A = this chain, B = another copy of it.
């Protein structure tokens, strides 16, 4: 294999053109095998193999600096920069993260996984170079829908006038996760159709020199153009047309499905069979059922989603059913929030679906466009909670982010019936912006319809009345709270009070006050970092009292693919460790409890 001779970018430079193409095929084969085994970003990486080889052939990394965006298209780059074992050796399959990571290699400049960051970051690298009177190429590779994020557009506007060498490669595969949306993409389409010749050129209007590569999956063609722009003394756009999933028929035919795949998506013959519609009920399916049912009766319902339909199970079929009542904004979370707020303010009923990790991109819109205007929308926040995720996609910061903004009501459902009742209330009310933290766990049912009146803001539910110890288990930690109660009873005889706080964004002052009568310890459990979170509000409430408060949750830190079990041990979030801490606080630590 040619790949055997390639351990770093220097090794590429002595290969023949024909060998480079053959190398691309070898890389394609190992990426397909590896990703179909471990899961991961599939289509984006197959599409960018040839261009990655070309970049490393033409440029001199790490002296020349390449910034990847979305950095999930960095697998070929990792293979060429000393990390091929992570793709060839099944035992090392999990060694490297799926994003650029400076701790792995000097060829990776930034630890990034969110989209739309590369142009601004590359501007910074280029400006630092110029201040220091150094000479090297700075390259931003941006694609897979990243171009429409506000940060990327702010970056382009500034890049155009930065001065000095800067090469922005726009990997145009005509897709983000799903199809692309918006005026900019209409222009990219026109440019593709005219092979870059159209008069109206988005990049040229900003002042960029513009180059078009029609065969972005042909190593030689890409090299030709990159050699032209290498060592440029001004900002340049290289518009690179590639095919998402290139070289894998199933992936080319099912671009959205193959953006990110789970293990075993391709069978042993490399074929793909779409799964039959899952008969299994989960939070995605009941959400969709709720939406379709409402939409039938209410033309004002509208679903807004910033480019992550797959996360929510918003299949093409579901989207088609909603028709004009579904808007994919593309990767544009800021727009999605402001747009939804205005919809709500003008008689529509928006349901905004967004991932925890990406809701971070909208703080000011949540605060100013939404909360300050008190628009009555429903925001469904997915995948919140501690997890073994990559540091770039943690879901543990949403509670401090959302809960400390005035006016927003943030709800933490603990089972199916509660979730549906919250959805119903939120959808029908007109008084608050409501966010609901959709449970990331398998669906649980309590078996009985929830008739709670959720307009009684901050009203918690006392599930089991006990004494001495009160346990507040927020949302996804409700089950853990119940386990703790039972273990405490078994270990100490204490019959603790079990509380479902329901609201993340405020505390039930009346209930907390009443607990003072016959409780000495309040325990809070939350599935996220403690700093700025729910438990601290309870601690503040009791600051001026004799009540002891034990807050359990995550630490303020970026964790990187740390298994959840390890995090639970680290943060004292196993039942055994929680019980031990409670007993210490009760001065009963002599009775030892096993986890």
Contacts and interface: CB of A to CB of B under 8 A. Distances in A.
Interface of A: 65, 102, 109-114, 117, 120-125, 127-133, 148-151, 153-161, 181-187, 199-202, 204-208, 299-300, 302, 324-325, 327, 329-330, 332, 334-335, 338-348, 350, 360-361, 363-365, 367-369, 371-373, 391-392, 397, 400-401, 403-407, 529-533, 535-537, 539-540, 542-546, 548-551, 556-558, 585
Contacts of A121: 338-339, 341-342, 369
B200 A183 contact: no
Contacts of A302: 127, 131
A369 B112 contact: yes
Given A110-B369, A112-B369, A158-B339, 12 more contacts: A111-B373, A117-B338, A120-B335, A128-B342, A132-B347, A151-B365, A205-B205, A363-B401, A367-B397, A530-B540, A536-B540, A539-B549
Contact of A335 (B154, B299, B345, B529): B154
Contacts of A372: 111-112, 391-392, 558
A363 B365 contact: no
Given A149-B150, A299-B131, A335 B397 contact: no
Given A157-B182, A332-B154, A335-B155, A364 B364 contact: no
A244 B266 CA distance: 61
A478 to B, nearest CB: 21
A551 B544 CA distance: 9
Given A201-B205, A347-B128, A557-B406, A113 B368 contact: yes
B155 A153 contact: no
B361 A120 contact: no
Given A110-B342, A183-B160, A367-B397, A151 B151 contact: no
Nearest to A299: B131
A158 B181 contact: yes
A157 B540 CA distance: 44
Copies in the complex: 2
Contacts of A346: 65, 124-125, 128-129
A159 B332 CA distance: 12
B187 A158 contact: no
Contacts of A131: 299-300, 302, 324-325, 348
Contacts of A130: 324
Contacts of A186: 160-161, 206-207
A536 B544 contact: no
Nearest to A363: B363
A397 B536 CA distance: 17
B157 A154 contact: no
A301 to B, nearest CB: 8
Contact of A120 (B339, B400, B585): B339
B392 A400 contact: no
Contacts of A338: 117, 120-121, 124, 151, 155
Contact of A114 (B120, B368, B403): B368
A148 B156 CA distance: 10
A174 to B, nearest CB: 15
Contacts of A407: 558
B123 A339 contact: yes
A274 B128 CA distance: 35
Nearest to A348: B128
A168 to B, nearest CB: 12
9 contacts: A112-B373, A120-B338, A120-B365, A123-B339, A124-B340, A153-B153, A368-B392, A400-B400, A536-B537
Given A121-B341, A364-B360, A367-B360, A182 B158 contact: yes
A179 to B, nearest CB: 12
Contacts of A124: 338-346, 348, 350
B120 A334 contact: yes
Top 4 nearest A-B pairs (CB, nearest first) are A150-B150, A124-B342, A160-B183, A183-B206
